[in-house]
Amino acid sequence: MNRLALTSTPWIKNLLTSRWPQFIVRTITLAGFLLTILAGLFGSRVGSHNFAIIFVWIAWWSLLKLVFIPAGGRSWCSICPIPMPGEWLQNGGLLGPGGRPLGLGKRWPRKLNNTWLQSAVFLGMGIFSAVILTQPRISGWALLGLFIAAITLSLVFERRSFCRYLCPIGGFTGLYAQLSPVEIRAVDPVVCAGHTEKTCYTGSAQGYGCPWGNFPAALSQDSNCGLCMECLRTCPHDNLAFNLRPYGSEISAKTPLKLDETFLALVMLGSALVYTAVYMGSWGWLKNAAYHVGTLPWLAYALAFLAITLVVVPGLFFGAVWLGKKMSAAREPLKKLAGLYGSGLLPLGMATWVAFTVSFAFAKISYILPVLSDPFGWGWDLFGTASTNLSLVDLWLSPIAQVGVLAGGLLWSSRLVMRLARDRRQALPVLAFALAHAAGMMWLLVG
Amino acid sequence: MQSTKLSLLLFSLIAAVIAFAPAPVSLVRPAERYFRIEASTFAFSPQTIQVNPGDHVTIDLVAQDYVHGLRIDEYEVEVTADPGQTARLSFTAGRPGAFHFRCTVACGAMHPFMVGKLKVGPNWLFWRGLGLGLVAILSGLWWARK
């Protein structure tokens, strides 16, 4: 597959390897994040008038799902403010090596070296999502909790353990990053093989060893590459490149998803269905059940949410894979086939979340400018936009875009599944599963 | 190579027909339609109303607990009702499809998600979407044959 090495252009390389641009952007996002926590904890209790709710769950979420992940995989992770203070403490400095590191630097437990925890945290937040997404105080506490967890983990464990193993956003971002059009790869593996110091992993005076715990010289998957560019700084031979590549080119039969990743992919499909039903559906009783935490209807909602995401959707998928295995008399174990077809369904998963995001982003975009001028909902008008009612996109376009994105995701997935399949019969039940999921999403969104 | 290009063209053509072919004109004569919609925190009841294209629709919105509003996407018509009061909204359903109607007055935490649905005639967008999905699957299968 063809690659375009962006780092072969000097000014792009300088932009990526210089610490200042990234530092400035991260400082801005950190300031925004702290403002978000303050607005959540001390601002208006009305969600639509509070920066914390509007900026995180509408503006940032939409940017993440519509821009960062589809265009740059884990690009958000490279400027995410949540792990920053912990990372600074861990490194003992803000702008490069030389400081006195803090923390215990323990290795992350081997048994937790997977995405199960990320699935669990994502599901946990899902169960409480109706209050997290709508109540500024709860939202503020949830974000503060993530912030404290990230700092604590940085002081106990080495590298960005929080991002890699706990962050609920990092899990699915990494999953869909495998489809992204960017990558960091070694230019010439022979040069890496002859480089005994392996500074891309261990670090040097120019930069830190890979904060994500990867060995960049042998990187072949993007799921755990945070695009921090440290390896570009530490490689003395200029042998690492930031490439543009064709979408989905990383997915191959040689690298099926592991069981935990397959489950995360299915959790994401199931969660999208539930979220769409709760937030975009017209069932008031379901919204009330999701919102009134601690009541019997909420308990029923939480159990149904877990049943759909952990039992029904994975059950149907594994059933489809099993049926395909029987139909084709394949010899591969079910787990391996599930991982193979799980990676084939990643485009549909990403399209599902893009469609869900489009469904509310177009309608709620008008909330953004007013909270910029009045982040706490205290009646300020800092930039003269507090009373603005700006609608950038006509609402008629939204359902058409949702259907188009879902159909496109299905097309991409069906071609990928067929590319990965040993024979057509084996893939048929998986394609039926994909069609059923897309049809379900379409029915919930525009039906 | 030639057959690949031809089949790509064929699938694109089928997809274009499904996506853009004009919907059949409704032969049902427009009528007067009346609905009473009760609004209480985060829910409209009935949650979905169905009419035919061209129908003249009258909606009485009854706010059961707090002040609630009702605004229909793309029709850009709205009404607000005080608690225990009824407010009336009339319009002609000239645009076919499925449209959300939303509460327009902040009535609680889940207010932004308080929606109902107005269906005007058959929901062609949904059926076109399903058709495109089917074409997507079939094209994947065909591609694998190569």
How do residues A353-366 score in pLDDT, each as one tens digit?
999 999 988 888 88
Tell me the residue type at A304. Answer: A
Phi, psi of B63 (to 5 degrees): -85, 120
Cα–Cα distance for residue pair B61/A326, rounded to 1 Å: 56
Mean pLDDT of B9-28: 91
Residues B134 and B63 in one domain: no
Residue type, A286: L
Same domain, yes or no, for B16 and B82?
Answer: no
A48, B141: Cβ pair inside 8 Å? no
Is B64 in CB contact (< 8 Å) with chain A?
A: no
Quote the strand ranges of A135-294, DSSP E: 182-186, 203-204, 207-208, 240-244
B132 and B118 together in one domain: no
Task: Give the pTM.
Answer: 0.95
Residue A91 pLDDT: 94
- The predicted-structure confidence for A324-376, as pLDDT tens digits, reads as follows 999 998 889 999 999 999 999 999 999 999 999 999 888 888 889 999 999 99
Distance CA A173, CA A350 (A): 10
Question: Chains A and B: how many Cβ contacts under 8 Å?
Answer: 122
Q: Is residue B27 part of a domain?
A: no
Interface of A with B in 330-369 (CB under 8 A): 363-364
Integer Cα distance of A150 and A84 in angstroms: 9
Report if residue B73 sits inside a domain. Answer: yes
Query: What pLDDT is stored for residue B82 in this prediction?
Result: 96
User: In chain B, which residues have their Cβ closer than 8 Å to the Cβ of A279?
Assistant: 113
* A329 vs A298 pLDDT, higher one: A298
Interchain proximity B136–A424, CB inside 8 Å? no
Same domain, B72 and B97: yes
A418 pLDDT band (50/70/90 cuts)? very high
**Tens digits of residue pLDDT in B21-73:** 998 888 889 999 999 999 999 999 999 999 999 999 999 999 999 999 999 98
Residues B70 and B14 in one domain: no
Residue B23 DSSP one-character state: P
Residue B111 lies in a domain: yes
Which two tokens mark A42?
A: 């001390």
Q: With an 8 Å Cβ cutoff, is A406 touching chain B?
A: yes
Residue A390 in contact with residue A366, Cβ under 8 Å? yes
Q: Which residue of A has its CA nearest to B135?
A: A411
Whether residue B62 is found in the same domain as residue B9: no
pLDDT digits (tens, 9 = 90+) for A221-272: 999 999 999 999 999 999 999 999 999 999 999 889 999 999 999 999 999 9
ipTM of the predicted assembly exceeds 0.90: yes
pLDDT above 90 as % of chain B? 80
Is residue B132 domain-resident? yes
Do A414 and B113 count as a contact with CB atoms less than 8 A apart?
no
Say whether residue B113 is in contact with chain A using an 8 A CB cutoff: yes
Q: What b/e readout covers A131-141, taking b as 16+ CB neighbours within 10 angstroms?
A: bbbbbbebbbe
State the Rg of chain B over Cα: 21
Token output for A319: 């059933």
pLDDT, one tens digit per residue, over A3-19 is: 999 999 999 999 999 99
Of the candidates A34, A415, A423, the residue with the CA atom closest to the CA atom of residue A246: A415
Residue in A closest to B108 by C-alpha: A46
Q: Name chain A contacts of B115, Cβ cutoff 8 Å.
A: 280-282
List the one residue out of A234, A161, A237, A155 whose CA is nearest residue A195.
A237
**Domain presence at residue B137:** yes
**Which tokens hold the place of B128?**
């076109």
> Do B40 and B82 share a domain, yes or no?
yes
Chain A, residues 301-320, CB within 8 A of chain B, namely none
| Residues of chain B positioned with their CB less than 8 A from the CB of A46 | 106
What is the identity of the amino acid at A166? L
What is the count of structural domains for chain B?
Answer: 2
Is residue B79 domain-shared with residue B14, that is, in the same domain?
no
Inter-chain residue contact B129 with A407, CB threshold 8 Å? yes
How many Å apart are CA A200 and CA A188, to the nearest integer? 14
Residue B132 and residue B110 share a domain: no
Per-residue pLDDT tens for A106-137? 999 999 999 999 999 999 999 999 999 999 99
Beta bridge partners of A185: A241
Distance from CA of A183 to the nearest CA of B (A): 26
Nearest-CA neighbor of A124 among A163, A167, A162, A164? A167
Does the CB of B94 have a partner CB in chain A at under 8 Å? Answer: no
Q: Which domain holds residue B6?
A: 2-21+128-145
**pLDDT tens figures, A372-403:** 999 999 999 999 999 887 665 667 889 999 99
Tokens of B105: 């007055």
Q: What is the pLDDT of residue B25?
A: 83
Find the helix or strand (DSSP H, E) in which A216 lies: none
Cα A337 to Cα A314: distance, rounded to the nearest angstrom: 14
Place of tokens 């690659």: A3
Alpha-carbon distance values, B74 to A282, A397, B21, B33 (Å): 17, 10, 22, 19
Name the token pair of A112.
Answer: 């937790």
Please answer yes or no on whether B98 and A399 come within 8 Å at the CB atom.
yes
**Predicted pLDDT of residue A353:** 98
pLDDT in the model for residue A1: 59
**Are residues B81 and B114 located together in one domain of the fold?**
yes
Assess whether pLDDT exceeds 70 at residue A139: yes
Q: Considering the domain boundaries, does residue B49 fall inside one? A: yes
Cα atoms found within 13 Å of the Cα of residue B91, Cβ hemisphere only:
19
Q: Residue A66 corresponds to which tokens in the numbers above?
A: 């519509």
Residues B62 and B42 in one domain: yes
Same domain, B38 and B77: yes
CATH of residue B71: 2.60.40.420
pLDDT band at B5 (very low <50, low <70, confident <90, very high): confident
Beta strands in A222-378 (DSSP E): 240-244
The residue among A53, A129, A403 with the most chain B CBs within 10 A of its CB, best to mutate, is: A403
Contact B110 A130 (CB under 8 A): yes
| Nearest chain A Cα distance for residue B72, angstroms | 11
Give me the sign of the Cα torsion angle A359, A362, A367, A372. positive
Cβ contacts of A250 within 8 Å, gap of 6 or more: A178, A179, A183, A220, A221, A222
**% of chain A beyond a pLDDT of 90:** 90
Residue B26 located in a structural domain: no
